[in-house]
């Protein structure tokens, strides 16, 4: 049952983000309703049916410090409810609480999209990186050379002192295990996801220093860190040697700048990242660009944020990407939210494009403080860590049937003459666009395969 499994996955991952009210005691309630204003992926009657479903739906999200809940209502009926806390996720329909060791959602629902994981982990990873940079001098103190040297850092300001640490490859190699341990502690303290901790540590353990690498810190008059620079050459295990040029800075309530270039010494492999952000007079501006070339294939992504926070949140957020086959996609959010005491509310337009397909929606969003989410009761509890491959497959099938039964009850409300067209249109979207498109997965429910028509049988 892909459409609802995808929805469950996305919701559960977003519920895990805040645990998202970053400050203890800040519980938050978010309500989202909306309507489709344009969707060219389908003709009639499918487009109208989907529009009616969306306009009669309401999504309620409740974020707490250690648990979160989501509820999806269609035509006044709650069809999907999720509960998320550390290492557990509860799903209804199915009335089941799943437990596991940090990978519950992925075990049950499949791996999260790479872009979603990157967005979800950006804040804790950035905090962990800052923590490492601030503690790094304790490891490098014996090599420190201080000089007065003024340098301007975009969005951050002008630093007045430069501290240089130039180490040979052998010296870096001796210090590297301690630095990895520092990174591990920082990621753990900032609640970086276990999967991303493992990936980061695996990457760091591949790094080898064959030549001298220079690290520089830039500080203000009070010796507070404002920026950092790293230059030299390193290798990644058995992969190609890379030149590294890292430069950036950060100051709270001012801005951030980051530039990373990691080209291969030989060949065209490359990785580049640029991030520039500022906050001034209630205006938040952020621009980012990422590209990676590996074995002559390139992926890229761009981010643009322009939001004024004087009386709420008004502006635009654009995230665009291109995969290694040249396919483009883009998401644009344009909020016009007003702050009234503890309530932030208003309209927000959404535009999603993928190739020639376009979806336009107008959403209504409301955010307000809330009480701590209460743990709901579930009839079943399943420990996914105790299941073998067969047991996990059986649990997925149980969940699929619970979700498909609920979805069929909604489809059955559609006039009979339109049902087959609806199911065929969405099935055709899956066949032509691939599994990345959330679709109705009737092909997974063996007892309703007959509802999916072959292309030659289409109307």
Residue 271, in any domain of the structure: no
Residue 353, in any domain of the structure: no
Residue 229, in any domain of the structure: no
Residue with tokens 């180490």: 167
Radius of gyration (Cα) for the chain, nearest Å? 25
Q: How far apart are CA 275 and CA 260, in angstroms?
A: 9
User: Please, what is the angle between helix 169-189 and helix 194-206, to 10°?
Assistant: 180
At residue 439, the pLDDT reads 32
Quick check: 328 and 355 in contact, CB under 8 A? yes
Residue 399, in any domain of the structure: yes
One DSSP character per residue, 246-303 reads EEEEEETTTEEEEEEE--BSSSS-EEEEEEEEEEETTEEEEEEEEEEEETTEEEEEEE
At residue 355, the pLDDT reads 86
Residue 78, in any domain of the structure: yes
Residue 169, in any domain of the structure: no
Over the chain (459 residues), the average pLDDT of each successive run of 10 is 50 48 64 92 87 91 83 88 84 88 67 60 82 90 90 94 94 95 93 82 90 94 92 83 92 90 88 90 90 88 91 91 87 93 92 90 92 86 89 88 83 83 71 40 34 33
- Tell me which DSSP letter residue 224 carries: -
At residue 417, the pLDDT reads 81
Q: How far apart are CA 428 and CA 442, in angstroms?
A: 12
Domain containing 102: what range?
2-112+374-457
Which residues, other chains included, contact 169 with Cβ-Cβ below 8 Å and sequence gap of 6+?
Answer: 209, 210, 211, 212, 213
- Tell me which DSSP letter residue 159 carries: E
Structure tokens at 296: 């002559």
At residue 87, the pLDDT reads 79
> What's the domain count of the chain?
1
Its sign, for the CA torsion 436, 437, 443, 448, is: positive
At residue 120, the pLDDT reads 64
Q: How far apart are CA 36 and CA 361, in angstroms?
A: 4
Rounded to two decimals, the pTM is 0.77
Residue 437, in any domain of the structure: yes
Burial of 352 (0-12, 13-18, 19+ CB in 10 A): middle
Burial of 61 (0-12, 13-18, 19+ CB in 10 A): buried
Q: Which three-class secondary structure state does DSSP give residue 381?
A: strand
Residue 185, in any domain of the structure: no
At residue 4, the pLDDT reads 52
Sequence-distant contacts of 320-326: CB under 8 A, at least 24 apart: 321/115, 322/298, 323/299, 324/297, 324/298, 324/299
Burial of 284 (0-12, 13-18, 19+ CB in 10 A): middle
Say how many residues make up the chain. 459
Quick check: 263 and 231 in contact, CB under 8 A? no
- In the chain, the largest separation of any two C-alpha atoms, in whole Å, equals 79
Of the candidates 124, 5, 18, 123, the one whose C-alpha atom is nearest the C-alpha of residue 69 is 18
At residue 151, the pLDDT reads 92
Structure tokens at 38: 């344009």
Beta strands in 295-449 (DSSP E): 297-308, 312-322, 328-340, 343-354, 357-369, 380-383
């Amino acid at each position: 049952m892909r459409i609802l499994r995808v929805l469950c996955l996305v919701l559960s991952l977003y519920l895990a983000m805040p645990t998202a009210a970053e400050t203890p005691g800040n519980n938050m309630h978010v309500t989202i309703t909306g309507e489709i204003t344009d969707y060219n992926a389908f003709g009639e009657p499918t487009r109208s049916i989907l529009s009616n479903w969306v306009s009669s739906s309401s999504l309620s999200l409740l974020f707490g410090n250690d648990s979160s809940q989501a509820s999806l209502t269609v035509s006044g009926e709650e069809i999907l409810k999720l509960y998320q806390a550390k290492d557990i996720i509860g799903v209804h329909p199915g009335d089941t609480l799943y437990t596991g060791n940090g990978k519950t959602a992925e075990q049950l629902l499949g791996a999260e999209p790479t872009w979603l994981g990157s967005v979800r982990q950006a804040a804790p990873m950035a905090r962990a990186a800052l923590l490492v940079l601030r503690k790094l001098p304790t490891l490098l103190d014996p090599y420190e050379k201080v000089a007065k040297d003024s340098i301007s850092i975009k969005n951050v300001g002008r630093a007045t002192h430069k501290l240089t640490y130039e180490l040979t490859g052998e010296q870096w190699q001796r210090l590297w295990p301690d630095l990895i341990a520092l990174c591990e502690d920082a990621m753990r303290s900032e609640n970086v996801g276990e999967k991303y901790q493992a990936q980061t540590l695996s990457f760091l353990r591949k790094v080898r220093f064959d030549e001298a690498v220079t690290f520089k810190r830039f500080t203000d008059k009070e010796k507070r860190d404002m920026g950092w620079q790293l230059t030299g050459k390193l290798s990644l295990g058995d992969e190609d040697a890379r030149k590294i040029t890292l430069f950036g800075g950060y100051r709270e309530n001012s801005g951030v700048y980051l530039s990373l270039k990691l080209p291969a010494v030989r060949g065209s492999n490359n990785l580049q990242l640029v991030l520039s952000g500022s906050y001034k007079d209630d205006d938040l501006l952020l621009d980012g660009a990422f590209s990676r070339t590996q074995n002559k294939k390139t992926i890229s992504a761009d981010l643009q944020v322009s939001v004024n926070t004087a009386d709420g949140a008004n502006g635009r957020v654009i995230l665009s990407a291109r995969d290694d086959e040249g396919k483009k996609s883009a998401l644009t959010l344009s909020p016009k939210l007003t702050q009234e005491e503890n309530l932030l509310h208003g309209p927000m337009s959404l535009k999603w494009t993928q190739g020639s397909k376009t979806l336009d929606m107008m959403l209504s969003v409301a955010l307000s403080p809330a009480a701590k989410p209460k743990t709901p009761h579930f009839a079943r509890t399943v420990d996914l860590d105790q299941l073998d491959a067969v047991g996990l497959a059986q649990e997925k099938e149980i969940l699929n049937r619970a979700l498909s039964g609920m979805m069929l009850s909604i489809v059955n409300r559609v006039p009979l003459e339109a049902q087959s067209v609806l199911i065929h249109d969405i099935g055709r979207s899956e066949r032509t666009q691939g599994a990345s498109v959330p679709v109705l997965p009737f092909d997974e429910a063996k007892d309703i395969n007959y509802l999916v028509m072959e292309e030659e049988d289409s109307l």
